[in-house]
Amino acid sequence: MDYEQEMIRQMELKNFSKGTHKIYLAAAKKLCKYYDGRRPEDISTREVEDYIIYLQENKIYSLSTIHSTINALKFLINKTLLRRDDPFDIDNRKSPKTLPEVLSVNEVKQIIQSADNLRRRVMLLLAYSSGLRISELVNLRIGDIDSKRMLIRVVQGKNKKDRFTVLNPHTLKELRAYWLKYRPKDYLFPGDKGDHVPASTRLATKAWRIAKKRSGLKKGRGIHTLRHCFATHLLEAGVDLRTIQVMMGHSSISTTAIYLKVTEKHLENTQVKVDLLKYY
């Protein structure tokens, strides 16, 4: 059996995203590498468990990465290799309950304005002002920008769901300047292979990393911080939780409710209630 092709086939049948394909295949390859290049069908379920113990005890990956590795190897063993008599059935460890890191409005402005070119500035501005995930950001098309209704359509975001989120006037102004300079024809941020292929998420990650370094700020773990800021700043501005849930694309309002705790944590230091749509 060509386990990679069969794994891809099974993932396609379940309509997994291309991102999940990449993560699951990488996890399978790392398991094989750990066992000196042996094929998955020659690695026992107990050996897979030993590999997970090794990752956990040696803190090779973060807890979230170990969780995705466990899910990938469950799919490999149970769904691809169909090892029904000896399944891989380990529960994910519970993640510690931590609050998302949030920057102030002025700190967000400082990072965005520190971008070293217009393209990267627009990327960061969109990620913040519309609450986009990094994969949603790079997959935006020109036709997803609805300037008449001041909305952005997110097509097939997380969990294969479409939704709309806000487009604020300053972002639209910057987008028009960006379009005049770069003239994208299909994807808003095309990749190196042409207009009909989106940029990789590495481009957005690089935009964040460069801007954050130039800003001099130490806070902010990654570009996803801007999405956390979007939700928290809207709550502080008085937008209701249900509206924020819809814009964020959360399946459950309990996921959105975590930002209530972040807001409570920061309210004492909040001098001004900010209208996010006029933050510039």
Helical residues (DSSP H) of 14-62, grouped into ranges: 18-34, 45-57
Q: What is the pLDDT of residue 62?
A: 81
Tell me how far apart the alpha carbons of residues 239 and 170 are, in angstroms, rounded to a whole number. 19
Q: Are 1 and 41 in contact (CB under 8 A)?
A: yes
Whether residue 69 is contained in a domain is answered as: yes
For the stretch 189-213, pLDDT in tens is: 998 877 788 999 999 999 999 999 9
Same domain, 116 and 252: yes
The HSE-up count of residue 96 (CA atoms within 13 Å, CB side) is 5
Domain span at residue 264 reads: 105-278
Whether residue 196 is contained in a domain is answered as: yes
Same domain, 112 and 36: no
Residue carrying the six token digits 């995930």? 133
As a whole-number percent, the residues of the chain with pLDDT over 70 amount to 91
**Do the bridges between strand 151-154 and strand 145-146 make them parallel or antiparallel, or are there none, so unpaired?**
antiparallel
Tell me how far apart the alpha carbons of residues 104 and 223 are, in angstroms, rounded to a whole number. 15
For the stretch 101-143, pLDDT in tens is: 889 999 999 999 999 999 999 999 999 999 999 999 999 999 9
Whether residue 93 is contained in a domain is answered as: no
Q: Which sequence positions are flagged as catalytic?
A: 133, 158, 224, 227, 250, 259
Whether residue 89 is contained in a domain is answered as: no
Residue 279 pLDDT more than 60?
Answer: no
Whether residue 97 is contained in a domain is answered as: no
- Number of structural domains in the chain: 2
Q: Domain with 73 in it: what CATH number? A: 1.10.150.130
For the stretch 20-71, pLDDT in tens is: 899 999 999 999 999 999 999 999 999 999 999 898 888 778 888 888 999 9
Same domain, 63 and 123: no
Same domain, 173 and 238: yes
Same domain, 122 and 257: yes
Nearest Cα neighbor of 87 from 53, 44, 51, 52 is 44
Q: Are 202 and 208 in contact (CB under 8 A)?
A: no
Q: Domain with 226 in it: what CATH number? A: 1.10.443.10
